A = this chain, B = another copy of it.
């Protein structure tokens, strides 16, 4: 069938199908299609035109043919799919019960196999949001790791860093990875694309190099360079997590438990043994105050402990964006400026990256305790990190996208004399997205002030970049209404 139904698989049957009578289908959630030695779950759809689908036919969209490995005319078996046994556990969770490790392992496996509907996933997430113990979070996380592939590296120490997100700019991974790899520690970094932000680490790296490497390609780059910065999507780590995220996102469910299970399952699946976790704290960050941060830290530590993953949680300054650029091209510019030791490179981005890289280098048993940050700074200042980044970029291959900055620009200026009192991360992210980031890599904004700066009326606060006139106008209007840079009274 020449149909594309986006996320959902479908199977089209005739009203007078000899295989499955429509009367049997009305209450059926999914059809199990077996053929070519594989099994597929698909939602049923009835076709009333016998010239399209005859009584003995089943119509499948092209991707389903590929997944099953069958050809037009091949025989497939169809049967109503049984409701997964894990739905009993879902019902218990809705009633507020605590589930077992076995329940979570089974749930993660069914999620990864797309056996749960969006409705059931939503019910699960909301039930978990109202009550989920630390043990349950650990079990869910273990289940998610077990339900997917797991990368293995032939090294006792595999380091990683991760930020829980929410701070525009803040592209430290692109600096930390080459520093750490230049030192000789293994850092096979998988990263995500933006979901609700103006750029993910993968989006920014893509300005510099290809990021959609598969597992073999990634292995080759890491073997050659000791590190990489690739998009995790091709490697398919923790697929159950991707399924949960696809429902969390539209419902905007963002609980500590899901965050911990999601992040740690991805890290463990990527083969990490040591993780430095960056939790920015600030009034417009994901974590608003120290107390919430401490609760989250404890949960990360508890679950990582259960997974035998060494973790070090660092609270960082989340009161404003890090670096100047917001949006893939602008962020890549900042990163390369720091790596190149440019005099005008953003100091906050450099210092934060050096600090985090130092914490990772401390994991090296060969290094004197306390010398990590100093060593990180040397690797950056000597140009070793920059050379390592160039090596990684060449190994990953040329970027498929244009690195051009958006040609439309507008400056947002201070309405009066004053001192910058706060910069709203959410508003800055929102303006950059309205301008077109990350879909338009060259869109975004370039911050020209930081908290504490004195400004005069009319002085530029940031410059918006865009390529598409209507989007650009949207962003400028929004910034004009409320810039996100607030002057102290």
Give A contacts to B, CB under 8 Å. 2-6, 12, 15, 22, 25-26, 29, 44-49, 52, 62, 90-91, 94, 96, 117-123, 125-127, 129-131, 247, 250-253
Contact status A48-B118, CB under 8 Å: no
Question: How many copies are assembled?
Answer: 2
Find A91's partner among B44, B45, B251 (CB 8 Å cutoff).
B251
Contact status A15-B4, CB under 8 Å: yes
Given that A118-B117, A126-B123 are known contacts, is A5 also in contact with B251, CB under 8 Å in the complex?
no
Contact status A91-B252, CB under 8 Å: yes
Contact status B117-A5, CB under 8 Å: no
Contact status B129-A94, CB under 8 Å: yes
Query: What are 22 residue pairs bridging A and B, where the CB atoms are less than 8 Å apart in the complex?
Result: A2-B49, A4-B48, A5-B45, A6-B25, A6-B45, A6-B46, A29-B250, A48-B62, A90-B251, A91-B252, A94-B129, A117-B118, A119-B119, A119-B121, A119-B250, A119-B251, A122-B123, A122-B126, A123-B123, A126-B126, A126-B130, A130-B130
How long is the Cα–Cα vector from A247 to B94 in the complex, in angstroms?
14
Complex interface: chain B residues within 8 A of A96 (CB): 130
Complex interface: chain B residues within 8 A of A123 (CB): 122-123, 125-126, 251, 253
Contact status A45-B3, CB under 8 Å: yes
Given that A94-B253, A125-B123 are known contacts, is A52 also in contact with B2, CB under 8 Å in the complex?
yes
Complex interface: chain B residues within 8 A of A2 (CB): 47-49, 52
Considering the complex, give the chain B residue whose CB is closest to the CB of A7.
B26
How long is the Cα–Cα vector from A5 to B25 in the complex, in angstroms?
11
Nearest CB of B to A271, in Å: 31
Considering the complex, give the chain B residue whose CB is closest to the CB of A251.
B123
* Nearest 4 interchain pairs by C-beta: A2-B49, A4-B46, A2-B48, A126-B126
